[in-house]
Amino acid sequence: MASTHSCKSTEHGEAWIVKEDDEWHLNINHVATEQNLEENGYLEEESQTIDSVVLNVLYCPYCGERLSEGKDETIPSFTFHDFSKW
Ligand SMILES: [Zn+2]
């Protein structure tokens, strides 16, 4: 069984969906643009990750494909990582 999901939408930007510990996780990275670098002295280079969020999902929110077979519910949760400051 595939442990990653990709579709047209996940090809854009830094988004990917992987299965971890029996749960599907949607990962999205927010990457720095030139403007972000000008506004935030902590950032060093373009396309470095500014922050990222990981959410548990049952379906792909972009194409609607069901990811978790036999699982109808989950406990909504997310983790957030901020890399834009020390
Ligand atoms: Zn999808």
Can you give the pLDDT at residue 1? 53
* Ligand 1 centroid from CA 18, angstroms: 11
> Are the C-beta atoms of residues 45 and 37 closer than 8 Å to each other?
yes
Can you give the pLDDT at residue 45? 93
Can you give the pLDDT at residue 44? 92
> Are the C-beta atoms of residues 55 and 78 closer than 8 Å to each other?
yes
* Ligand 1 centroid from CA 13, angstroms: 14
Can you give the pLDDT at residue 85? 85
* pLDDT digits 0-9 by tens, 3-46: 999 999 999 879 999 999 889 999 999 999 999 999 999 999 99
* Ligand 1 centroid from CA 66, angstroms: 9
* pLDDT digits 0-9 by tens, 51-78: 999 999 999 999 999 999 888 899 999 9
Which neighbouring-strand residues pair with 55? 26, 78
